[in-house]
Amino acid sequence: MFEKVLIANRGEIALRIHRACREMGIRTVAVHSTADENAMHVRLADESVCIGPPASAKSYLNISAILSAATITGVDAIHPGVGFLSENAKFAEMVEEHGFTFIGPSPEHIRMMGDKITAKQKAVELGIPVVPGSDGAVDDDVEAMKIAGKIGYPVLIKATAGGGGKGMQVARNADEMAQKLSLCRSEAKAAFGNDAVYIEKYLGQPRHIEVQVLGDGQGNVVHFGERDCSLQRRHQKVLEECPSPALNAEVRQKIGTIVTDALKKINYRSAGTIEFLYENGEFYFIEMNTRLQVEHPISEMVCGVDLVREQLRVATGAPLGYGQSSIKFNGHAIECRINAEHPRTFLPSPGRVTEYHAPGGLGVRVDSALYAGYSVPPYYDSLIAKLVVHGTSRNECLMRLRRALEEFVVGGVQTTIPLHQQLIAEPDFLNGDYDIHWLEKWMAKG
């Protein structure tokens, strides 16, 4: 096992990784920007290194500063966390070139899944169902119209270099096509410096369902069921649940087998997530994230697994040591993402936390790096806590979540706690009856 690991991240996820290391007897090195000097991940780590000024580009994305910190502190491995450099194939390569272990998949797999078109082509090759559409980029408008006519309107025009929900246009009919194509191309050119687009069938009321996987790079791959992340605002997840209220055991097993069979073929290593849109009983691949996800704790709660521990273990070259039949699904878990934002306008609300009390009790987990007196810096993602609640049934989980939200006190900054309180009282949510557009429609109603 590793003796010392550098955590190339900040906030709650850095703490999450620190905790797994600690429990395995591994020492940790935190890196931080000057804005994060007093952050909890820095206070708890065995050692820490300042890697630059507040702007992420100069600190948490500064590859040479991170590699220098790893060299100076003599670590064995680097965990990239989520966001920042976690899906940067070049970074993974450089980590290995400098003699450290990258705790994640191979650079080849990160690269394969990082480009939307190659990822989709690979998915088809591996037997994963995809959204019907063009085979790759379409340069020519006449060709684009022909494809759209064949798959049927409405269609979604997507920038191949798109990301973060940007670079997408819906064309409802053939008359809209030319205008939407040129709009998408010019937006993509401006945002990503690349105007290549491709075409997909536009799904009207899908759910976002993703499957958590883990492989050891030696041909063994298991899945930990699915997460339903359909409650989204501007394509950003707000609340996630496991299992999905829309799937039964048979469908879960079917999609789980498709995914694990596919990843066995490429000898996938580490944790990963395959994201699907799910409509009328059909799954459509949208992307694969070759890293840990923010919402991984709900799968951990239901399956009783520590995914970061597993990532660390397989990174040393250890085999999984268990198969799919050892993985049991127990009860229900929900995660609320608590952001330092106004609960309705979503305007960021950085500043000093004057009061902090996290809920506790049976089945309640809070992943957060907050403490009273801490100042939430304005430079980074506004996620300040993840409230993760587990119950033996969905109903028990919902009742527990309601009381846990009541107990949560964060003073001095605005948070999305009141939004979650309202959301989980909505009949549609209680009935599990929602798709990826539900939240925005609900918000529009005021």
Which residues have a catalytic role annotated? 291
Q: Residue 275's beta-bridge partner residues?
A: 210, 287
Find the shortest distance in angstroms from Cβ 336 to ligand ADP.
19
156 binds ligand ADP (CB under 6 A): yes
Find the shortest distance in angstroms from Cβ 186 to ligand ADP.
17
Find the shortest distance in angstroms from Cβ 278 to ligand ADP.
11
The phi and psi torsions of 85 (rounded to 5 degrees) equal: -95, 10
285 binds ligand ADP (CB under 6 A): no
99 binds ligand ADP (CB under 6 A): no
Q: Where are the alpha helices (DSSP H) in 193-268?
A: 249-265
Residue among 288, 219, 224, 277 at smallest CA distance from 246: 277
Residue placing its CB nearer to ligand ADP in the complex, 36 or 228: 228
Residue placing its CB nearer to ligand ADP in the complex, 231 or 404: 231
What's the CA gap between 220 and 108, in Å, rounded?
18
286 binds ligand ADP (CB under 6 A): yes
Residue placing its CB nearer to ligand ADP in the complex, 110 or 389: 110
Residue among 79, 70, 65, 5 at smallest CA distance from 33: 65
Do the Cβ atoms of 55 and 62 come closer than 8 Å?
no
374 binds ligand ADP (CB under 6 A): no
Find the shortest distance in angstroms from Cβ 150 to ligand ADP.
15
Determine what percent of the chain falls in helix, strand and coil, rounding each to the nearest 5.
35, 30, 35
96 binds ligand ADP (CB under 6 A): no
Instruction: Give the one residue of 17, 131, 255, 401 binding ligand ADP; rule: CB under 6 A.
Output: 131
Residue placing its CB nearer to ligand ADP in the complex, 131 or 385: 131
Q: Mask: binding to ligand ADP, 197-236, rule CB under 6 A, as x and -? A: ---xxxx--x-x--------------------------x-
Residue placing its CB nearer to ligand ADP in the complex, 292 or 436: 436
Residue among 121, 261, 305 at smallest CA distance from 198: 121
Find the shortest distance in angstroms from Cβ 15 to ligand ADP.
26
What's the CA gap between 187 and 83, in Å, rounded?
24
Residue placing its CB nearer to ligand ADP in the complex, 192 or 379: 192
| Rg, C-alpha atoms of the chain | 22
Q: Residue 335's beta-bridge partner residues?
A: 240, 388
- Which among 155-163, 184-192, 291-299, 420-428 is the span making contact with ligand ADP, rule CB under 6 A? 155-163
Judged by CB under 6 A, the chain residues 233 through 262 that form the site for ligand ADP are 235
Find the shortest distance in angstroms from Cβ 213 to ligand ADP.
17
Find the shortest distance in angstroms from Cβ 116 to ligand ADP.
7
Residue placing its CB nearer to ligand ADP in the complex, 173 or 395: 173
Amino acid in the structure at residue 111: R
Do the Cβ atoms of 79 and 7 come closer than 8 Å?
yes
Instruction: Give the one residue of 127, 136, 149, 163 binding ligand ADP; rule: CB under 6 A.
Output: 163
Q: Is beta strand 77-79 parallel, antiparallel or unpaired with respect to 101-102?
A: parallel
What's the CA gap between 434 and 240, in Å, rounded?
12
What residue has token string 């003599």? 74
165 binds ligand ADP (CB under 6 A): yes
What's the CA gap between 388 and 40, in Å, rounded?
20
Judged on CB neighbours under 10 Å (0-12, 13-18, 19+), 166 is: middle
Contact residues toward ligand ADP (CB under 6 A) are: 131, 156, 162-165, 200-203, 206, 208, 235, 277, 286-287, 436
